[in-house]
Structure 1
C-alpha cells in the first residue's frame, strides 16, 4: 500500500529507527529523534545500495517519488544514482566557488607583481566598479556573451569607451585564465569587439578592423611610388616604433645576428635605449635595403639630402597616395598593434615595453632583459598575423 501524507504526518518516533514503505523500494526512514528522511534501496553491480533523497517535509512525497524515478532512469543507463548525486553536489560546490569574482581576483593576484602599483589598482578598480556588481557572484561557466555584452554596454552608455574596451580585454584574460586552469571551456568575450563602439583618435586615425588593414596592406603591396617609403611603411607596421624612431634608424643600430634594432636615448628622449626585436619579415626587408642604402648612415635616407634621415611626412605621403588619408596614420599602427595583441591575450607588459610606454626607471631598465625573449615571440606572431591579412 502506498504512503499518504496523512500517514506520514501521523507517524511517530519509536525506540528504534523504522521504515514506512511507499512503493518500489522507496520508503520514509524515521529515527528515534523524530527525523524523517526519504530513502531508496536499489541494486547496482550486484550490491545492495541506498540512496538518501532528503528530509521530509523539505522533500515532499511527490518530490521523493520523482527522485526515485530519476534514479531508476540512471540505473537503466548503467549509472549509480548515489555516485551521480555525489558528483552533482561536488560540481555544484566547484561551480559555487568558481565565481567570476573569485577567479578574477586570483588572476589579478597572479599578474599584479608584473605591473606597477598604480596600474594594478586601476585594473581592480574597473572590476570592482563596473564588473563585479553585475556578474561577480555568477559561476564563471554560466556567463554568456549577451550577458557580458550588456555589462560592457552599460560602461559605454556613460561615454567611457576606453574603459569599456579595457574591461572587455581584461575580462577576456580572466576567462582565458579560467580555461587554462580547467575551470571554464569558453571565453564569452571573444567575439564581442565587433558589437562595441569603436574608440578612434581624431588626431591619430587607425584601421579598426582586420578587413580595413587587409585593404591597406594590399594597396601598399601594389604601391608604385618610392620603394624606400613603401618599405619604411611596411617596417613601421611590423615593428611599431614611433615614426621618427624608424626614420632616424641607422645601419649601426641594426644587429642582424641578434635580430635587434637599438633606438638611441636621444631619439626616444628617455634615459635608456629602446630595444626592438626584429621578426623574420623585418630582417628580410633590412637585408633587401642594405645594398641600396647600406653605404650611408641611415636605413631610410632623405632622397635629396642622403646624409639626413627621411622626412617624417614621407610615410604620411604614402598613406595619402593610397587613399587612406584620415583613415590611417603612423601612430595608428601602434594603436592597432596594442588592440590586436591585447585581444589575443599577450602579456600587457610586453606590449607596453614594445611601445616604449613605461617610465625610465630601474624597474624599466631591468625589464628590458626580462621581457626581451617574450617580445621576440610576440613580434614574430604579430608579423605572421599581418602577413595573413595580405592577399
Structure 2
C-alpha cells in the first residue's frame, strides 16, 4: 500500500534500520535514532543503485514522489539519475565557489614566474580596474559572451581600444585556465572575435633627424633635475634598452671591468638574458653615479623609496619638462632613434636587431644570432656613442657609416 503522512509519523524507531515502502522503488528508511531518510532503488546498466532524496519532514511525501518521478523520466531517457545529480551538484558548486575574481587571482599567481614583473603588475592592475568591479563576484559558469562584451565596450567607449583588446585576451587566458582545472566549461571570449574595433597601431614618438637629435642631447645634458634622473636621461640614448629595463637596472647586473650590462631573462620582454656592451661614455656616466647610488640595489632608485626603482613615468615627465611633448619624444623613442639612425648609417640589420633584443621568428636564425655578433655589437655601441657626441657638438656624422654585410 502507498505510504501516508500519518503512517510515517506513527512509525517508531527500532533497534535496527527498517523500511516503509511507497511503491515504484521509493521507500522511507527509519534509523534507530529516529531519523527518516527517503531512498529510491532502481537498476541502471544491470546494477542495483540507490538514490537519496532527503530527510523527512524537510522533504515531504509529495516532494519525495515528485523527485522519484523526475528520476524515472531521466532513467526512461537513458540517463543515470545518480550521474545527472552529481553533474548538477558540480555545477552548483562551481557557481557558488568559483567567481571570476577568485579564479583570476589563481591565474595571476600561476603566471608570476612566467611573466616579467612589470607585465604581471599591469595584468593585475587591468583586471582590478576594468574587470573585477563588474565580473569579479560573478560565477565563472554564468558569464556569457554578451555580458563580457558589455564590459569590453565600456572600455572601448572611453577610447581605450587597446586596453579593451588586452583585457579580452586576459579574460580568455583566465577562462582557459579555469576550463583546464574543472572550474568552467567554456570560454565566452572566443565568441567575441571581431566584436571590438581593430587596434590602430601607433609607433612610439621618436626624434630621428640628426640635427634634432643633437638638440635633444644638449637638452639632456642641460637638464637640472634629480641627479639619478639626469644620469638615466643621459644613459638612455647610449644603451637604447626598453624603459622598464633601464629604470629597474641593478648594480649587480653591471660588470664595469668588462664593460657590460647583463640583464637577466626575467626582466626581458622576450624572457631571454641580454647583454648590453657599454661604451666609454656610458661607463663614465655609471662611474659618476656610483658614489651616490652604488651602495643600494638600483642605479635609479625612487625619490621617496630607495628600495624601489624610479617611477615608470619619470623619464617621460622629465622630457615634458624639457619641452618635448608626447608626440615628439618618449622614453621608448630612444630605441627607435637608435634603430633608425644605425640602419640609415649602414650597420648590419641583424646586429642592430640583436642589440635591440627583438624576437627572431626563425628559431634557427635566432640561435645563430644569439651566438654571433658580440664583437660587432661592441664596436657598434662605441661607434654609436661617438656618433652621438658628434651630433651633440654639431660635427660630421659620417664617422660611423658602415657598409651593410
| TM-score, with structure 1 as normaliser | 0.48
| TM-score, with structure 2 as normaliser | 0.47
In our comparison, the structure showing a higher alpha carbon Rg is 2
